[in-house]
Amino acid sequence: MSDTQATAREVSELSFEEALEELKQIVGRLERGEGRLDDAIEAYERGARLKAHCEAKLKEAQAKIERIGLGPDGAPRAEPFDKE
């Protein structure tokens, strides 16, 4: 997918990987100082939305992760994800 196609799509439609890749590209362009100030401001705002989208996707994935454990009766059970 080209930069133009990715930029035309709503952030909420992007997968985590697509959003992260676009965010990397935006950061690179901003670091190099490419484009006009208005373009940089617009890119920064989209980058902020992409970052929030990626963070939400990570939290969503984390909430789905379960660790399989054994209950007191010896039967397998799913336990909530533990960050430790």
Q: What is the mean pLDDT of residues 69-84?
A: 70
Query: Using one digit for the tens of pLDDT, what is the confidence trace for 21-50?
Result: 999 999 999 999 988 999 999 999 999 999
pLDDT, tens digit, for every residue of 3-26? 444 456 899 999 999 999 999 999
Reported pTM: 0.69
10 Å CB burial of residue 66 (0-12, 13-18, 19+) is: exposed
Confidence of residue 53 (pLDDT cuts 50, 70, 90): very high
Compute the distance between CA of residue 20 and CA of residue 34 in angstroms, rounded to an integer: 20
Residue found by looking up tokens 């617009």 in the block: 42
Q: What pLDDT, on the 0 to 100 scale, is given for residue 8?
A: 65
